[in-house]
Structure 1
Amino acid sequence: MSRKTKRKHVFKEALDDDMSLPTENQTIVRIISTKGNNLHEVLAPNQSTYLVSMPTKFRKNIWVKRGSYVLVEPITEGDKVKAEIVRILTNEHIKCLKEDNVWPPEFSDNKKDQEDESDLLVNRNRLEIDEELSSSDSDSEDNK
């Protein structure tokens, strides 16, 4: 599978409209910082902090930033990493969870809910240039 096809499927899964509620062992947490090697420090509703890992299907395809909310599931192996990210929550997911009274009240006063969900999926470090535009621009410059 090509990188572009894989990315398309990962984006589709991440933005899936599956508004299922978290199971008993899943927790909603907020990303505090990135620690490298696909590890993120998160803040749980009980104000404890711990490390979670990004699953391989999301690595190099989806980026999360500080203040984003994710759904995590605890893992047994390892001492420092306590959980793994199951789903990255978008604004639509958050609205649905608030309507179902599942959203933790500790996170309800944040203004992060108003940000655009597309920020989760865009790598701002690299500009995407349309190949057709760049080739037509260079041709017109060559003719001058």
Structure 2
Amino acid sequence: MSKATKRKHVVKEVLEDCVTPTEDQHIMRVLGSNGNNLHEAVTGSGERFLVSMPTKFRKNLWIKRGDFVIVDPIKEGGKVKGEISFILYRDHIQNLRKLGVWPEGFQEDRTSGERNEGTLKERSERKNEEEDDSDSEDDDSDLFVNTNRATVFYSESEEETDEDEEDDDEEKKEDEGKA
């Protein structure tokens, strides 16, 4: 099987199949990547440990902080106590909640898509409130601030420098000489 065919089957399996965890599997939230295909994850009860990404997912699927996965425990593991068997997306999470299999510790958590929708709603509500409260259109507090750039403040002065005055005087004399 070629790499492209393998990649196609792995992605299709993850996106289309709906998996429920067995009794020995855990639903976990990824806290971050420790490198070397190891990820720190937490269970619904708050237990933290390292889980490994199997070779079939490497370079085919990516997970980020906040994503949910189904993990098979590794009994003989020292530091690494589990292996990711399935990556959960929004549709999978909704299905698991309907089935009543979703852990209680993650009930208040939302998927990243739901989290983004919530923040957009909150922003629009805040913006509406601010528009009602403030009559000034010159308020720049809601503008995006790029923290990767140095902040430069420009000030306009009404005074002309000595050099500017000298240049203006010379131009006037030239204009008078031509007339």
Q: What TM-score does the superposition give when structure 2 sets the normalisation length?
A: 0.60
Alignment of 1:21-60 (within 5 A): 21-60=20-59
CA distance in structure 2 between the aligned counterparts of 1:60 and 1:12, rounded to whole angstroms: 15
Aligned partner letter, 1:51:
L
Aligned partner letter, 2:106:
F
Identity within the alignment, %: 52
| Cα distance, 1:60 vs structure 2 | 1.1
Unaligned runs of 5+ in 1: 117-144
Alignment of 1:68-83 (within 5 A): 68-83=67-82
Q: Which residue of 2 aligns with 1:136?
A: none
CA distance in structure 1 between the aligned counterparts of 2:19 and 2:66, rounded to whole angstroms: 22
Aligned partner letter, 1:43:
V
Change (3 A) 1:59 1:115: farther
Cα root mean square deviation, aligned: 1.7
Q: Which residue of 1 aligns with 2:15?
A: 15
Q: What TM-score does the superposition give when structure 1 sets the normalisation length?
A: 0.74
Residues 21-46 of structure 1: per-residue CA shift (max 9 Å, x gap): 21110010000010011000001111
Residues 54-101 of structure 1: per-residue CA shift (max 9 Å, x gap): 011001111100000000010123300000001001111111110011
From the CA coordinates, give the structure whose radius of gyration is larger. 2
CA distance in structure 2 between the aligned counterparts of 1:98 and 1:5, rounded to whole angstroms: 32
Structure (1/2) with the larger helix percentage: 2
Change (3 A) 1:97 1:87: same
Q: Which residue of 2 aligns with 1:67?
A: 66
Unaligned runs of 5+ in 2: 116-179
Greater Cα offset, 6-15 or 107-116 = 107-116
Q: Which has the higher contact order (CA 8 A, sep 6+)?
A: 1
